[in-house]
Structure 1
Amino acid sequence: MATTHTLGVPGARLRYEVRGSGPVLVLTGAPMGTAHFAPLADTLADSYTVVTHDPRGISGSTLDDPEQDSTPELRADDIAAILDDLGAESADVLGSSGGAVTGLALVARHPARVRTLVAHEPPVLGLLPDADERLAETDDIVETFHREGVGPAFAKFMATSGLETGEEGAPAEPPGEPSAQDLADGARFLGHELRGTAGYLPDIDALTAGPARVVIGIGATSGPLLTYRTSTALATRLGSRPAEFPGGHGGFVESPGEFAEVLRKVLGG
């Protein structure tokens, strides 16, 4: 059974959920929110206090200024504030996609708050040899959104990422007719979140200095994806090998039970 909480932070009001008991484990995405992580959270709640949340500006987490951009640094500070609200000194963190970038920023800004970060497929384009080209594609996606709307921009995003339309765990509109909230979240992602997330450059020194342990996760079937390239590039910079998880970019949605088994092993539980 999940309990729902709200928390006021500078510029926003956050919605988060808590399940289970035991060591605190935060599951975070961007733009994926609580609903995407619920099956995985339910699976892990037998041995962890599992925290999920809607990132600022997404779904139930509202903004004072709807035009505020979402950055990894802001989202990292939001997670630290949620830990404060729970009275938790530190937590393990699974971040997926943009949430993995949030996790990288969290370790850099609040290193004592993280025991182990599992950064699952962070789209850190600036680490790639063709970073300029990839970042230019991101700019074009954002410009297409402002010019033509969610549909055309999202189609470009999927094509450049290597994701298939409707792939589980992708920041996609769900199958069928999108709801008003789906469209709002898509617009938020394309207009105010994508550029800051894709352009984030990890602080390698901070990530390797400790005390947090950082593990890069990668999907077993993610080879064709842009995030496979970014994940392996980051793992190389950190001097480590990626941990392989079931499925692809959205493996935590596709196979939450199998994903949880691997996550437990990576966390040492």
Structure 2
Amino acid sequence: MTSTTTTVDAGRLAVPGGELYHEVRGSGPLVLVIGQPMTAEPFTPLAELLAADHTVVTYDPHGLGRSTVEDPSLPVTPEVQADDLALLVAHLGGGPADVVASSGGAVTGLALAARHPQLVRTLVAHEPPVCDLLPDAAHVRAVTDGIVEAFEQHGSGAAWGGFVALVVHDGELTGPSVPPAAWSPPGPADGAAGDTAPPQPPEPSAKQQADDALFFLRMLKPFTRYAPDEAALRSGGPRVLVGVGATSGAGVAVRSARALADRLGVTPTVFPGDHGGFMADPQGFAAVLRPLLADPS
């Protein structure tokens, strides 16, 4: 099925500590398509496809993008974001909703299913980085600490390099902290002639800088160290499915997802692509999703 451009109803919802920006497309059964730290935009192609027969909601998570936060010094935890989504579902008609969630959004989805089971019918948790389930969890914690330190000492570019290396790293992590090449301050390009400086990326906006600070200082640790409520997730309430990317290799997100699936006694659902498969192949991703959302068993 190909996507068509649908009408987007954008809105804002007051929640404790801030305001949520959200977009609604299509009509039919309610489905939330969420990520974190991704905002609504990367999910647009997938949302357009699903909107052919669903009411699809995307959003900017607490304090990020067009959403706001009143006190950026407070932690933003999976529980905070789960309670935000519970209010959003109630605002949109009460659900229950299907939840298609990726990365940190999948951690939020796990918290939502555990805290507000009456609001979730099916949760598809695609590669949630619940890293404390891993045998090398202590090392992953140390790497995460290094990413936060990289942000504090060297800024956003350094921290994003370390974060991407952590999430998609192939094989076992071996260093004591973030690899230096991932977070060293940028220098002259190799082979630059004379004193000519290489082109520099545009200075991030004040909002982007604030978003980066919120993510690295207030979100990263609570999300990567979240302990799923396994008893609640196995209690017979929402149907919980775990997704993995066909080409995700051995990054911590896909390893965490497989560990979670094993704990919950479910077989991982394989989606096309890697950790960002919903962006690279939204049609293939939607083709795997549709039977999952159509089957209530």
Q: CA deviation at 1:227?
A: 1.1
Write the mapping of 1:73-152 to structure 2, written as runs, cut at 5 A.
Answer: 73-152=79-158
2:164 matched to 1:158? Answer: yes
Bigger drift between 187-196 and 20-29 goes to: 187-196
Cα deviation, residue 162, structure 1: 2.7
Cα contact 2:12–2:20 (8 A) shared by 1: yes
- TM-score under structure 2 normalisation? 0.84
Post-superposition offset of 1:163: 5.2
Change in 2 beyond 3 A, CA 1:211/1:60 = same
For the 8 Å contact 2:81–2:108, the answer to whether it is kept is yes
4+ runs deviating over 6 angstroms: none
| Partner secondary structure for residue 209 of structure 1 | coil
Residue identity opposite 2:218 in structure 1: H
Per the TM alignment, residue 137 of structure 1 is displaced from its structure 2 partner at its CA by: 1.2
Percent of counterpart pairs with the same letter?
50
Q: What do the CA deviations read for 1:69-92 (whole angstroms, capped 9, x no partner)?
A: 210000000000001111123100
Aligned-partner Cα distance in 2 for 1:4–1:163: 36
Which segments of 5 or more consecutive residues in structure 1 lack a partner in the other structure? 165-175
Matched, 1:10 2:16: yes
Q: State which structure, 1 or 2, has the greater radius of gyration over its C-alpha atoms.
A: 2
2:48 pairs, out of 34, 42, 45, with 42
Instruction: Give the aligned partner of residue 167 of structure 1.
Output: none
- Is the 2:114–2:232 Cα contact (8 Å) retained in structure 1? yes
The aligned counterpart of 2:31 is 25
Q: CA RMSD in A?
A: 1.7
Is the CA contact 1:127–1:234 (under 8 Å) kept in the aligned structure 2?
A: yes
Judge conservation of contact 1:114–1:212 (CA < 8 Å) in 2: yes
More displaced stretch, 12-21 vs 218-227 = 218-227
Which of 194, 198, 204 is 2:230 aligned to? 204
Q: What is the alpha-carbon distance in structure 1 between the residues aligned to residue 169 and residue 30 of structure 2?
A: 31
Cα distance, 1:154 vs structure 2: 1.8
List runs of 5+ in structure 2 lacking aligned partners. 1-6, 171-200
SS of 2:76 mapped into structure 1: coil
Offset from partner CA, 1:118-142 (integer Å, 9 cap, x none): 0000000110111111112111211
Task: Letter of the 1:240 partner, please give it.
Answer: V
Distance apart, 1:265 and its partner CA? 1.6
CA deviation profile, 1:163-214 (whole Å, cap 9, x unmatched): 59xxxxxxxxxxx646424444333221211111000010110000021000
Is the contact between residue 29 and residue 95 of structure 1 (CA under 8 Å) also seen in structure 2? yes
Q: TM-score, normalised by structure 1?
A: 0.92
- Cα pair 2:49 2:286 within 8 Å, conserved: yes
